[in-house]
């Protein structure tokens, strides 16, 4: 896991620090009419012309950062004055909890990143609370009676929601519930001051509707497979009611596969929130990521990338461990 994070962050660090991005950063931090020589001087003075691996090590916190030297006075000065960086050699990187400075917001990356991540965490919590019970119920109802009218209806609805991307369903929901009916707010910008049903429902609905269809289809497939097993037939032949067979014998085994699918929704939600948060102007992780990319905020982009990689790897690990715990056959192997 650690090796994977190192490899992925190294690739991201390389892509973000390509020459065009560095020049854009220099332009954004200087005057618009700055000459090429002045831009190069700014990059040199702020350490962006150091060896690539040295800079990566400084970002990680395993290589000592050197302060900048003011050409006018010859004294050591911080790289970005607005961040109160120390003007002395220090080990200050990700391993020390220092994610760098945001050139867009003129503050520490952690000051901007973690509140945004918390806002997205609230959004994802309500999406999961809405999505998981509904999708499991739909999948179980459809799988219990394979081939029935209920099964066909729920399966078609699940496929339709899965085939509709977030930006399409978001527009449809906004037009219907915000513009026509006026029941909900078409913007979630005010949710940063306080979450209400009026300003928070549309983002939750937009994210949940896609996942409901996908998890429901996987749950149905698992339920159909379990209902055809020999021990289910044996339970029915012993005289147990259909409801008892489903609740006591089928559900536990049928929910093993959906557990893995649910855990894999976290990486998908990280990509989905980018679209939904920008669409509804909800100031969370995805909104911050887009702002960082649009303003070439290198340190903030690196922080967002690191958090994304960490969340994806952790959810994969939990998914594998949880699957092995729920499935005795995997534990034996």
CATH number of the domain that residue 198 is part of: 1.10.3720.10
Q: Does residue 65 sit in the same domain as residue 121?
A: no
Same domain, 81 and 222: no
CA angle 201, 126, 281 (to 5 degrees): 50
pLDDT tens digits for 112-169? 889 988 888 889 899 989 988 998 888 888 887 777 888 888 888 888 888 888 888 8
**Cα–Cα distance measured from residue 298 to residue 51, given in angstroms and rounded to the nearest whole number:** 17
CA distance 273 to 123: 9
Cα pseudo-dihedral 240, 246, 250, 251, rounded to 10: -140
**pLDDT for res 261:** 79
For residue 150, the model assigns a pLDDT of 82
Contacts of 21 (CB under 8 A, 6+ apart): 296, 298
Residues 6+ apart with CB under 8 A from 78: 67, 68, 84, 85, 86, 87
Do 277 and 215 form a contact (C-beta atoms < 8 A)?
Answer: no
Same domain, 274 and 230: yes
Task: Give CA–CA dist 56/48, Å, rounded.
Answer: 11
Q: Which domain holds residue 245?
A: 111-332
Return the pLDDT at 17.
84
Residue 104 lies in a domain: no
- Hey, is 89 helix, strand or coil? coil
Looking at the fold, whether 115 and 39 belong to one and the same domain comes out as no
In a domain? residue 121: yes
Instruction: Please report the DSSP string for 3-55 in residue order.
Output: HHHHHHHHHHHHHHTSHHHHHHHHHHHS-TT--HHHHHHHHHHTTTTS-HHHH
Q: Point out the domain boundary residue: 63, 98, 133.
A: 98
Same domain, residue pair 61 and 159: no
- For the chain, what is the radius of gyration of the CA atoms? 26
Q: Do 203 and 250 lie in a common domain?
A: yes
Give the H/E segment covering residue 135.
Answer: helix 109-144
Regarding whether 72 and 148 lie in a shared domain, the answer is no
Q: Is residue 293 part of a domain?
A: yes
Q: What is the pTM of this model?
A: 0.81
Q: Are 142 and 247 found together in one domain? A: yes
Which of these three, 98, 124, 141, is where a domain ends? 98
From 68, 98, 128, the end of a domain falls on 98
* Domain-located, residue 103: no
pLDDT for position 188: 81
Q: What are the pLDDT digits (tens) for 217-230?
A: 888 888 888 777 77
Number of domains into which the chain is organized? 2
* Residue 35 Cα distances to 27, 46, 204, 291, angstroms: 10, 17, 48, 26
At 327 the three-state DSSP class reads: coil
Does any domain span residue 105?
A: no
Q: Verify that 30 and 123 share a domain, yes or no.
A: no
Query: Distance between CA 170 and CA 10 in Å, rounded?
Result: 35
**pLDDT for residue 192:** 73
Which residues of the chain fall short of a pLDDT of 70?
A: 31-32, 68-82, 84-87, 249, 323, 326-333
**Residues linked to residue 65 through DSSP beta bridges, in sequence order:** 90
Answer yes or no: do 266 and 326 share one domain. Answer: yes
The answer to whether position 128 is within a domain reads: yes
265-290: b (≥16 Cβ within 10 Å) or e = bbeebbebbbbbbbbbebbbbbbbbe
Residue 243, domain member (yes or no): yes
- Same domain membership, residue 90 and residue 8: yes
């Amino acid at each position: 896991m650690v090796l994977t994070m190192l490899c992925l962050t190294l690739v991201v660090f390389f892509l973000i620090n390509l020459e065009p991005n560095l020049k854009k950063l220099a332009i954004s931090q200087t005057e618009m009419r700055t000459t090429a020589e002045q831009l190069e001087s700014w990059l040199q003075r702020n350490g962006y012309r150091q060896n690539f691996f040295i800079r990566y090590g400084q970002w990680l916190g395993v290589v000592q950062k050197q302060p900048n030297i003011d050409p006018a006075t010859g004294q050591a000065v911080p790289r970005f004055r607005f961040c109160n960086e120390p003007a002395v050699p220090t080990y200050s990187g990700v391993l020390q909890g220092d994610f760098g400075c945001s050139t867009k917001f003129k503050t520490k990356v952690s000051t901007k990143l973690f509140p945004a991540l918390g806002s997205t965490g609230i959004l994802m919590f309500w999406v999961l609370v809405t999505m998981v019970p509904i999708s499991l119920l739909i999948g179980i109802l459809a799988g219990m009676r394979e081939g029935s009218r209920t099964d066909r209806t729920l399966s078609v609805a699940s496929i339709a929601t899965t085939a509709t991307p977030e930006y399409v369903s978001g527009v449809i929901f906004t037009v219907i519930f915000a513009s026509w009916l006026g029941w909900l707010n078409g913007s979630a910008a005010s949710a940063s001051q306080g979450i209400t049903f009026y300003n928070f429902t549309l983002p939750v609905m937009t994210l949940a509707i896609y996942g409901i269809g996908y998890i429901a289809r996987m749950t149905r497939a698992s339920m159909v497979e379990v209902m055809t097993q020999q021990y289910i037939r044996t339970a029915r032949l012993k005289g147990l009611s259909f409801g008892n067979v489903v609740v006591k014998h089928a559900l536990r085994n049928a929910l093993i596969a959906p557990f893995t699918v649910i855990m894999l929704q976290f990486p998908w939600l990280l990509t989905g929130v980018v679209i939904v948060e920008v669409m509804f102007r909800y100031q969370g992780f995805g909104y911050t990521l887009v702002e960082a990319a649009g303003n070439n905020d290198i340190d903030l982009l690196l922080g967002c990338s690191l958090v994304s990689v960490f969340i994806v790897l952790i959810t994969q690990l939990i998914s594998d461990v949880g699957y092995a715990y729920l499935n005795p056959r995997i534990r034996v192997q």
